[in-house]
Amino acid sequence: MRKPKKRKINPARIRQNRCYDRRDVARALAIHKNTISHWIREGLRPLDNQRPELFHGSELVRFIKLRQQKNKSVCGDNEMFCLKCRTPRVAIIGSVAIVKPNEKTANLVAKCCVCSATMNRRISRKKIELFEKSFDIKKRQFSHLIEPRDSRLNCANSLPNLPNSKTTKTTTEKPNILQPDLFGN
């Protein structure tokens, strides 16, 4: 059986000055009626202990916002959120890299100092200087995007005519393609 998708419950769907019973709460928030039983165990207070249980709208909104705030964790300037540890962690020094920067944002990739898992954080371009002070950031080169100067070197049937100054006699040897001069070394 597939696990239901977790989603954020919108507290704006509850009116502050209205009373709701379990069925009304479930219908307004599009949740299962058993979820309300779990919420009561977690601290949601009904108006009284009589049946049917009634919940004031302001109490519902307060409980939902408090529950959502409890699950949030704010990362500091020198922290990134580790999905494996499920908490903000400091990255290993020297492991932070900027990946795929564009005009407005950049992605930081680093290793967690506790579990060595990969951590990601998206930042604005304006904050790169702030993170460069906190970490030893290196820019990651994309080697698969860098093309050689002469693309014909990748083709076997189109070998370039290379001058060979050492030998002037004609031989049937294959020319030495990987000379340092071709790549600027």
Domain limits, the chain: 11-71, 79-139
Are 35 and 4 a contacting pair, CB within 8 Å? no
**CATH T-level fold of 11-71:** Arc Repressor Mutant, subunit A (1.10.10)
Sequential pLDDT tens for the chain (185 residues): 555 566 788 889 999 999 999 999 999 999 999 999 999 999 999 999 888 999 999 999 999 999 988 878 788 878 888 888 888 888 888 888 887 777 888 888 889 989 989 898 888 878 777 777 776 665 544 444 445 555 555 555 555 555 554 544 555 554 444 444 444 44
Among residues 100, 94, 105, 95, which one has the least CA distance to residue 128? 105
Give pLDDT, residue 79. 85
Give the N- to C-terminal CA distance of the chain in Å, as an integer: 59
Q: HSE-up of 162 (CA within 13 Å, CB side)?
A: 19
